[in-house]
Amino acid sequence: MLHENENRPGLRWLYSSSPIRSFKETDEGAVQPTIPAIINAVYDAIGVRFTELPITPEKVLKALKKRN
């Protein structure tokens, strides 16, 4: 059974008939700290701060050319 949450569009709940009663991470919780860490690693490596995703090779080259 899937249920759409009105307060959070795009979030879907999946209910299981499993006898095990536990919750698993299925949303963006595990990704939330990862993206800023990658952005900071890119900044540390090349000295250019990105504020929009995705960081593509083309954007990196353009930013490096603009910096110099």
Q: Which long-range contacts (CB under 8 A, 24 or more apart) does 61-67 make?
A: none
pLDDT digits (tens, 9 = 90+) for 6-54: 555 565 656 666 666 555 555 656 667 788 899 999 999 999 999 998 9
Check residue 10 and give its pLDDT: 62
For 25-54, the DSSP string reads --SSTTTTTHHHHHHHHHHHHHS----SS-
Provide the CA 1 distance to its chain's centre, in angstroms: 26
pTM beyond 0.75: no
Structural domain boundaries in the chain: 31-68
- The answer, yes or no, to whether the previous bond of 9 is cis (omega within 30 of 0) is no
How many C-beta neighbours within 10 Å does residue 55 have?
15
